[in-house]
Structure 1
Amino acid sequence: MPSSSFSLESPKVTEAQLKALMQNISDNDVITLDACCPRKPEPDFTVVELANCYRLAWQLLVSGVNVSYTRRLVAAITFHRSATPEQTTSFKLIRARFKQIRFACANYSEQHSYPERLHTITRLMGGFQDSFKNGQKLRTLWRGIKLWCRLRPGFFGELHESLVKAQLSTLESFQRYIATENQQLADAVGEETYLTARQFHELRKIVSRRIALNDTRRTLYPSPELDELSLFLATINGLMGKMHDELVLQEMRKELDYEKQKFKLPDEIASRIRALVMTQKGLHRSVAEV
């Protein structure tokens, strides 16, 4: 962080704010087809807001994830090569907190990237979850063992150390990062743009990071405009999530080459992304000008 005065641990956010953020995360793929994109771009972030949003994401993780419990949960699912509905829900909520701090690192750190330790374990959680949800018993066993080993005692201490050594983003760096992601969104929704399933997945990651950015911000600084944007982003995310599930299923059935086969982005998604980027600052300026 830029100075010793910044702390991930304090000031403490309220229990109400933690619950509000978890609710926002739970709703981040709810499809509301009549949700409208706000016509005006959201207000500029301040350095204080960036720091507070980063802190909230960290406190959400450590307040709701117990490493010992998580290891026992992973071990139980791994042993049975399957998960009960209750275990599935518990694991999903744990992974959601990991994803939120990973998105926070991309959004608020000067590096605008995922720390390797955090990225690796979050991806492994995703692979483990996909395995037991889809009945892939051998993959559930192998990925579960790997995940259990990664979640060793002292994990949070090591993760905290890597996060506090990072630098909080400057406003200039943050603006360049947002402009770059806006441009990637714009490039993907051109009239003649075709994507592979992999490229589609990467596009959805940008949408997911933007949802995390907005949902964290509106938790701390509520406004009708940010709520409206959240509904619109969640609709895009939900539509893309349903489509990606279908693409993954096609790949599993050998009906799709995930890395090479291209398709045109459906207009119900493309039109909403176009509406989104038209409201974002930096769209009409080159990245170098931001």
Structure 2
Amino acid sequence: MIEKRFAPEVTQRLFTAVEEDDYVDAQVSLPPVIDLHCTSEIIQSNYALCLQFWEEGVQRRDLLDLTLKQASGVELSAAERLQYKYMRARYKHLRFAQRLYLQKHQAGFLFGKTTVYLGRFQDGFRNQKKDVITFYARLLRVYLSSPIWGLVRYRLRHSRLASVDNFVACRQAQMQALKTIIAKPKLTGREFHDVRKIISQQVSYYDTLRSIDPENREARQVSRFLAAINGLMGDKHDEMVADDMENRLAYATPVALDEDIRQRLELLLARFPL
């Protein structure tokens, strides 16, 4: 059972780091070689902080009320949209943590589905697609119900964590997958999204690491470099989703990867021990 707790300033540092996850800083590069050293204590502490970050920042009733309000045809205010965005960000960060630190490297089924549906619902109201909003609001009404919420919380606190060797192998496997995908001159929307998921998981690791240890300069450096890639890819993915929804360009259509993104990804692979 996960019991470790952190002081408020630690979770606040993580909140700030997550907020900066799409900030493109052109001045940040990488160390000559990315250090993959890790310990079981780091794995335990990182997962515990990600869990606390979600528990303290997501209230079931508040999140459900926001989805039902939007689905009823009443537009969320700017403050409510921001509240929704922050709660979804905490879901995403904990889903990354499950994929990184759990022995099976998978998010729980119910938690993972909820995270996906929150994203689809957000795409719906961003692009003013009433049918999408209605469909995912119905699903979220179930997935955010009290019985499922209780089951999800229990499973999150009773999870088997990965060993150090298993964790490092997982990170290396992700980089190998990234290398295979970007070897292609053009990527489909799904392949592009798969690359972004890998980057997002890696940046989440360094964000959590530097939130616990703010003196870890390398963690901050790698975090900022990955955040730049994440930001560039996030903007492009939003365009791809909007183009698909408006029938301008199908999500499955292969398109060339932006050269700036490709160069950053290639540098990451060159510095990452495989």
TM-score above 0.5 = yes
Asked if structure 2 preserves the Cα contact closer than 8 Å seen for 1:81 and 1:132, the reply is: no
Distance in 2 (CA, whole Å) between partners of 1:96 and 1:89 is 10
Equivalent residue number for residue 187 of structure 1: 180
Structure 1 length-normalised TM: 0.89
Task: After TM superposition, list the pairs within 5 Å mapping 1:216-227 onto structure 2.
Answer: 216-222=208-214, 223-227=216-220
Distance in 1 (CA, whole Å) between partners of 2:263 and 2:62 is 43
Look up the equivalent residue of 2:269 and give its one-letter code. Answer: V
Equivalent residue number for residue 122 of structure 1: 115
Distance in 2 (CA, whole Å) between partners of 1:247 and 1:43 is 33
Look up the equivalent residue of 2:22 and give its one-letter code. Answer: D
Is the aligned partner of 1:276 residue 2:274? Answer: no
Aligned-residue sequence identity (percent) comes to: 26
Secondary structure, counterpart of 1:181 in structure 2:
helix
- Aligned length, in residue pairs: 273
Equivalent residue number for residue 155 of structure 2: 162
Secondary structure, counterpart of 2:146 in structure 1:
coil
Distance in 1 (CA, whole Å) between partners of 2:65 and 2:238 is 28
Q: Which moved more, 1:22-31 or 1:239-248?
A: 239-248
Is the aligned partner of 1:202 residue 2:190? Answer: no
Q: Which runs of 5+ in 1 are unaligned?
A: 1-6, 284-290
* 1:131 Cα deviation from its structure 2 partner: 0.7
Asked if structure 2 preserves the Cα contact closer than 8 Å seen for 1:31 and 1:238, the reply is: yes
Is the aligned partner of 1:72 residue 2:65? Answer: yes
Asked if structure 1 preserves the Cα contact closer than 8 Å seen for 2:127 and 2:242, the reply is: no
Match of 2:85 among 74, 86, 92: 92
Equivalent residue number for residue 33 of structure 2: 40
Asked if structure 1 preserves the Cα contact closer than 8 Å seen for 2:186 and 2:254, the reply is: yes
Structure 2 length-normalised TM: 0.94
Q: Which runs of 5+ in 2 are unaligned?
A: none
Distance in 2 (CA, whole Å) between partners of 1:185 and 1:38 is 20
* 1:81 Cα deviation from its structure 2 partner: 5.0
**RMSD after superposition:** 1.6
Is the aligned partner of 1:19 residue 2:50? Answer: no
Runs of 4+ in 1 over 6 A off after TM superposition: none
Asked if structure 2 preserves the Cα contact closer than 8 Å seen for 1:236 and 1:269, the reply is: yes
Cα deviation, 1:97-135, whole Å, max 9, x if unaligned, reads 111111100000010111111111001100111111111
Cα deviation, 1:58-101, whole Å, max 9, x if unaligned, reads 11111111112222222222212532211110000011111111
Task: After TM superposition, list the pairs within 5 Å mapping 1:237-248 onto structure 2.
Answer: 237-248=230-241
Asked if structure 2 preserves the Cα contact closer than 8 Å seen for 1:239 and 1:269, the reply is: yes
Equivalent residue number for residue 24 of structure 2: 31
Match of 1:110 among 94, 103, 116: 103
Distance in 2 (CA, whole Å) between partners of 1:112 and 1:105 is 6
